[in-house]
Chain A
Amino acid sequence: MSQQSISLTDGPVEVVGAVSIKANSRFVMPWRLPCAELDLYHESLVDRASVPAGVRLVFVSDTSRIELDVEPSGVQAHYDLLIDARLHQRIDAAETTGTVCFTQLPAGEHRLEIYLPQSHPSRMAALRIDAGASATPWRGDRPRWIAYGSSITHAVRAAGPSETWPALVASRFGLSLTCLGFGENCHLEPMVARLIRDLPADYISLCVGINVYAGSLTGRTFRSAVIGLISIIRERHEQTPMAVVSPICSPPRESKPGACGMSLQDMRREIAEAVERLRRRGDEHLHYVNGLDLFGPGLAHHMPDKLHPDAEGNRRLAQQYAKIVMPMLGLEPA
């Protein structure tokens, strides 16, 4: 069947969940940082932000097939196609020649969402659908949810990009996700606080602490950084429901202080105290969540390295998150 090429920038396709999009004559690449000022962020954060966790291409079409030309990754890079919010097909770009083909789409017009890999940058050169197929923007007006955090929010170990816990929770609650989970790079930097502050958001989750364990902040600077992060975000999201989640279980780090001088138990106390102090000052839309309630020792078997939930662990974490955190934000399943 012959095909038509659809613009990735000014056409019916929306790139959703990115902070910025680098578009040039060769490719379109979503970033989870502002791509015009990457030099103001640490190189290691920039590296993780080049990976489009939670980013997806969204449009409505009656095409029977989608082809996406991408720069070959060399390593596993899963693309998920969701049709009307259900997983239709998962393709590893590393097993292709550079074209991700989704086939056998059901007849009729449907909302199509292509989740980009949560493990590898995505530079896309072309998107093609059936010649003569319809292609229109999806006018979904879903509330926006920003989830900031570490590798646990980045969720590289999920079975696929639509099965990370943030994607699962967003899908279940009908939210438009912006995932700012940056593996090893959740250091509560003021530049990231400003970035979140300046993004549109209806709900915000911050899962902070685990990356700091290695000493990037200490007993002197950690609680101040939590308070600073929240205060900066609040400058433009004064009443946005916000959950601040302390580290989930990581058995080797629970009571043993890291180079930061704090154990995970210490960190949970510091985060709870930061939230409590801001609540005492009137911030009633701010909520503390103990990470152990989301993923405690009882789920440690879903955490082979005792740090990162595996594929099943992501599903379990999503369930717990849906049960505990989302109601605090005032949300019920869609």
Chain B
Amino acid sequence: MSQQEIALIGGPVDVVGAVSVDANEQFVMPWRLPFDELDLYHESLVDHASMPAGVRLVCVSDTSRIELDVERPGAEALYDLLVDASLHQRVDVSETDGTVRFEDLPVGEHRLEVFLPLGMPARISAFRIDAGASASPWPDDQPRWITYGSSITHARQAAGPTEAWPAMVANRFGLNLTCLGYGGNCHLEPMVARMIRDLPADYISLCLGINVCCSESLNERTFRSAVIGLIAIIRERHARTPMAVVSPIRSPPRETDPGVAGLSLQDMRREIAEAVERLRRHGDEHLHYVDGLGLFGPDFVHHMPDLLHPDAQGQHALAEQYAKTVMPMFGLEPA
């Protein structure tokens, strides 16, 4: 069947969940940082921000097939197609010639969402649908939810991009997700605080601590101040946005060892709870503390083979707990 090419910029397709989109003559690449000021962020954060976790291409169409030309990565890079919010097909582009093909789409017009890979950059050079098929934007008026965090929010261990816990929770509650989980790189930098502050958001989750613990990038002197600073900066433009601050989920080897920086995970939970409590005492009633152990505690350790990252099954368990524990604090019920 012959095909038509659809513009990725300025056309019916929306790139959703990115912070910025680098569009040039060769490709379109979503970023989870402002791509025109990458030099103001640490190289390692930039590296992880090049991976479009939670980013998707969204449109409405009656096409029977989608083709996406991408730069072929050297390692597994899964693309998921959701049709009307249900997973239709998953394709590993490293097993293709560089074209992701979704086939056998159901008849009629549907909301189509192509979720980009969690762990590999996506440089997309063409997006094609059936010749003569319809293509229109899907006006996304779902409330916006930003999740900031570490590898646990980045969730590269998920079975596919739509099965990362943030994507599953967003799907279940009808939220427009911007995932700012950066593996190894949740260090509460003021530049990231400013970025979150300046993004539109109806709900905000911050999951803090584990990267600081593992790399000792902040210590007893600076960690709580960084938590308070991060929240205070975000609050400058989101004065009343419901915000959950989640302490580290369980990681047995790190629970009680304070390391060089003087902070075990238990210490961090106390510091984060204290930060939230102090801000609440100053009148911030839309700020909520969530103990990570309540989301992923000792009972789930079998879903955490490296004792740090929830595996594919663990993502489902974490999403379930998150839906039950955190979302009601936002006043949200499943869509």
| Cross-chain contact A42 with B191 (CB below 8 angstroms) | no
Interface of chain A residues 57 through 95 with chain B (CB within 8 A) = none
CB contacts (< 8 Å) of B216 on chain A: these are: 215, 218
- A43 vs chain B, min Cβ distance (A): 10
Set of chain B residues within 8 Å of A42, measured between Cβ atoms: 221-222, 224-225
Kindly identify, within residues 218 to 236 of chain B, every residue whose CB is under 8 Å from any CB belonging to chain A: 218-219, 221-222, 224-226, 228-230, 232-233
Interface residues on A, range: 20 to 34
Residue of B40, B187, B232, B281 touching A221 (CB-CB under 8 A) = B187
Q: Please classify the interface of chain B as helix (H, G, I), strand (E, B), loop, or mixed, using the class held by over half of its residues.
A: helix
Convert B180-212 into 0s and 1s, putting 1 for each residue whose CB lies closer than 8 angstroms to a CB of A.
000000010111011000000000000000000
Please tell me which one of the listed residues B189, B215, B228, B278 contacts residue A224 in the complex, with CB atoms under 8 A apart.
B189
Which among A45, A224, A259 has the highest number of chain B CB atoms within 10 Å?
A224
Q: Please state if A281 and B217 are interface contacts (CB–CB under 8 Å).
A: no
The residue that B218 contacts in the complex, of A44, A216, A227, with Cβ under 8 A, is A216
* Chain A residue with the shortest CB-CB distance to B216: A218
* Interface assignment of A231: CB less than 8 Å from any CB of chain B: yes
Contact B279 A190 (CB under 8 A): no
CB pair A223–B42 under 8 Å, yes or no, is: yes
A187 engages B190 (CB within 8 Å):
no
Q: How far is the CB of B33 from chain A (nearest CB, A)?
A: 12
A278 to B215, CA, bound (A): 26
Cβ < 8 Å to A, chain B residues 56-86: none
Q: Is A28 interfacial (CB-CB < 8 Å)?
A: no
- Tell me the bound Cα distance from A135 to B62 in angstroms: 84
| Given A218-B215, A227-B191, A277-B40, A39 and B278 contact (CB-CB distance below 8 Å) | yes
Known: A40-B279, A231-B194. A190 touches B226 (CB 8 A): yes
Does residue B325 face the partner (Cβ distance < 8 Å to A)? no
Question: Which residue of B has the minimal Cβ distance to A222?
Answer: B217
A44 to B220, CA, bound (A): 11
When the two chains form the complex, which single residue of A227, A232, A277, A281 contacts B233, counting CB atoms closer than 8 Å? A232
Interface residues of A (CB under 8 A from B): 37, 39-42, 44-45, 187, 189-191, 193-194, 215-218, 220-221, 223-225, 227-229, 231-232, 259, 277-278, 280-281
